[in-house]
Amino acid sequence: MNRKCKTRNSTSLVFVALSIALLAAATLLAPMASAQAPSRIVGGITAISGTTLTVKTDAGQSYQVDVPTAASIKRVAPGQKDLSTATTIQFSDLAVGDRALVKLDPDAPAGTTQALQIVAIKQSDVAQKQQKDREDWQRRGVGGLVKSVDVGSGVIVLTSGSGANAKTITVNTTKTTSLKRYATASVSYDAAQPAPIDSIHTGDQLRARGAKNADGTAIAAEEIVSGTFRNISGTIASLDTTSSTLVVKDLTTKKQFTIHITPDAQMRRLPDRMAAMLAARLKGTSGNAGGTGFGGSAPSASGAGPTQRSGQGQYGGGGQPGGQGGGQWSGQGGAQPGGPGSGGPGGAGGDPQQMLNRAPVIQIADLKKGDAIMVVSSDGTTDVTAITLLAGVEPLLEAPAASQSLLNNWSMGSGGAEAAAAQ
């Protein structure tokens, strides 16, 4: 008995240290996969039966863990860095969907997997934090294409918007600014990794959150996220709704791309009149087709994904990084840039980017072979993942350079989330 108590006392500090490390970086979340049983398990609770939890790790492996009455069960808030403010809860307080870090008892009987301590984040807490973070990105976020980077001073200059709505934004960073960059061929915010400022280059797309000045032309950045993406414009050569893939030949590069459509992809279709007005505006002619202004009659829809520079570029102008994540062990509990977009006021003088935000949302089943589309995707040679897909763009492809410029600047930072937050 004394030996077991000593073991528990001696491991408590180690467990706290491990918890802090796990809370600080998502890259430390994956359990150690080996022939021996792990000493800890991190994942989501998928089932509860009697006193047994089923925990599925982020790597996809499931474990059944018996929870004895002596096990310590703590509840922490998403983003909490240590256990100093953790509260004690009962086993009955745990629920499917909660995140859990399970410390296994090394003294459990042979052949059994028993919990010594559980640290849990409630699914409801995750959802609440996501909403708060989303609203904060809307209120205090900016984004655009990188115009210049001064590594020495930590100053990044962005261009955002287009036409009369174009502006320059100065992003000021410090040693405490969190800098992240998306993984290659990934649209998941969870997969974003820390990266130095010199990994950001001219032409990249970038989103920053922090304290802005009154007109939004300067920001003291607390967090920055960027990533490499590309634009693809062309007609659908083939479509497989079962595998959620499209094959498109890009009009610019003449390359054929296989485009994967995930649930995170933002997909919209421009109504014919809206497409004609946008094309006329981009060509510099009258955009008042049929007397309907840029407000048009298209229904509003939520969300507007990250955008992309022509050819290749970086994560765009203040859109919504894909996935649900936040780079902490809570898995889905962190900041999620982006959120509901509402466009802006109508009328012929409206912002074309706001017009895109109001285009109806579609699904892959709404597409067919031969449809013309414009896609913002993850970077890749021939195999990419769609972030934003715009259909009904036949008139826009007649002005490809202007259309690319429009798509480059279609972002939550210019007519989407910030417009919604201001209302």
pLDDT at position 17 over 80 = no
Backbone angles phi, psi at 399, to 5 degrees: -125, 70
Q: Name the one residue in this structure whose structure tokens are 């047994």.
A: 52
Q: Name the one residue in this structure whose structure tokens are 């860095």.
A: 81
Q: Are the C-beta atoms of 12 and 73 separated by less than 8 Å? A: no
For 33, which DSSP code? P
Q: Is 408 helix (H, G, I), strand (E, B) or coil?
A: helix
pLDDT at position 3 over 60 = no
For 320, which DSSP code? -
- The amino acid sitting at 268 is R
Q: Output the six-digit token pair for 78.
A: 């998403």
Q: What is the pLDDT of residue 357?
A: 74
CB atoms under 10 Å from CB of 173, counted, come to 25
Q: Output the six-digit token pair for 379.
A: 């970077």
Q: Is 353 helix (H, G, I), strand (E, B) or coil?
A: helix
Higher pLDDT, 363 or 19: 363
Which one of 39-43, 143-147, 418-422 scores highest in mean pLDDT?
39-43
- Which secondary-structure segment (H or E) carries 278? helix 272-283
- Region 15-32 average pLDDT: 41
Q: Work out the percent of the chain whose per-residue pLDDT is above 90.
A: 38
pLDDT at position 423 over 60 = no
- Region 353-359 average pLDDT: 74
- Using only C-alpha atoms, what is the Rg of the chain? 24
pLDDT at position 410 over 60 = no
Q: What is the pLDDT of residue 331?
A: 43
Put residue 149 in one of left, alpha, beta given phi > 0 → left and psi -120 to 50 → alpha.
beta
Q: Each residue of 107-137: pLDDT tens digit?
A: 998 888 999 999 999 999 988 888 888 888 8
Q: Output the six-digit token pair for 140.
A: 């205090």
- DSSP class per residue in 94-121: --TT-EEEEEE-TTSPTT--BEEEEEEE
pLDDT at position 77 over 70 = yes
The two beta strands, 218-226 and 205-212, are antiparallel
Q: What is the pLDDT of residue 340?
A: 28
pLDDT at position 287 over 60 = no
Higher pLDDT, 312 or 118: 118
Q: Are the C-beta atoms of 389 and 320 separated by less than 8 Å? A: no
- Region 296-306 average pLDDT: 30
Q: Are the C-beta atoms of 305 and 344 separated by less than 8 Å? A: no
Q: Mean pLDDT check: name the lowest of 82-91, 340-349, 382-391, 408-417.
A: 340-349
Half-sphere exposure of 247 (CA within 13 A, CB side): 5
Q: How far apart are CA 371 and CA 280, in angstroms?
A: 20
Q: Each residue of 139-152: pLDDT tens digit?
A: 999 888 889 999 99
Handedness of CA 128, 133, 139, 145 (dihedral sign): negative
Q: Are the C-beta atoms of 43 and 92 separated by less than 8 Å? A: no
Reference 228, options 409, 414, 385, 401; nearest CA is: 385
CB atoms under 10 Å from CB of 237, counted, come to 13
- Which secondary-structure segment (H or E) carries 404? helix 400-408
Q: Which residue segments constitute the domains of the chain, with CATH numbers given?
A: 2-125 (2.40.50.140), 146-225 (no CATH), 228-422 (no CATH)
pLDDT-based confidence at residue 56 (cuts at 50, 70, 90) = very high
Q: What is the pLDDT of residue 180?
A: 94
Q: Mean pLDDT check: name the lowest of 8-12, 13-17, 323-327, 360-364.
A: 323-327
Q: Are the C-beta atoms of 372 and 397 separated by less than 8 Å? A: yes
